[in-house]
Amino acid sequence: MPQHPANTDCSCVLLFRVNNAGMVIGNRLLEIPDKLIDEDTCKAFLPDMIASRGGHVVNIASLAGMQGMSRLTDYCASKFAAVGFHESLTVELKVGGHDDVHTTVICPFFINTGMFDGAKSTVIPFLEPEYVADQIETAILLNKEHVIIPGYLTPLFFFKLLLPSNAYWWLGRSFRVERSMDAFTGRQKTA
Active site residues: 75
Question: What is the per-residue burial (b if ≥16 Cβ within 10 Å, else e) of 12-44?
Answer: eeebbbebeebebbbeeeeebeeeeeeeeebee
Cβ-contact 109, 127 below 8 angstroms? yes
Burial class (CB in 10 A: 0-12, 13-18, 19+), 130: exposed
Other beta carbons within 10 angstroms of residue 46's beta carbon come to 19
Other beta carbons within 10 angstroms of residue 1's beta carbon come to 11
Using DSSP, how many helices (H) and how many strands (E) does the chain show? 5, 4
The C-alpha R_g of the chain, in whole angstroms, comes to 18
User: What letter would DSSP give residue 151?
Assistant: G
> How far, in Å, CA of 114 to CA of 24, rounded?
11
